[in-house]
Amino acid sequence: MSAEIINLRKARKAKKRRADEARAGENRAKFGRTKAERQTTEAERELEARRLDAARRQRGCDDEPSQ
């Protein structure tokens, strides 16, 4: 009945590596987009902003009666 002897320093480092790899995987999923994907998203955002500005009503227009 002999127990397996482990090196605590190696076990601690292995645990840290697993945690770091898990965090890296989360970051890849969260931030890992190609440059083309980022540019497409930015272009869509700008187009939507321009459409919103174009549809905005103007204050003080000649068509409205003054108050």
| Three-state helix/strand/coil letters over the chain | CCCCCCCHHHHHHHHHHHHHHHHHHHHHHHHCCCHHHHHHHHHHHHHHHHHHHHHCCCCCCCCCCCC
Q: Which two tokens stand for residue 23?
A: 């965090």
The predicted pLDDT at position 66 comes to 56
12-34 pLDDT, tens digit each: 999 999 999 999 999 998 888 88
Mean pLDDT of the 41-63 span = 86
* pLDDT above 90: residue 49: yes
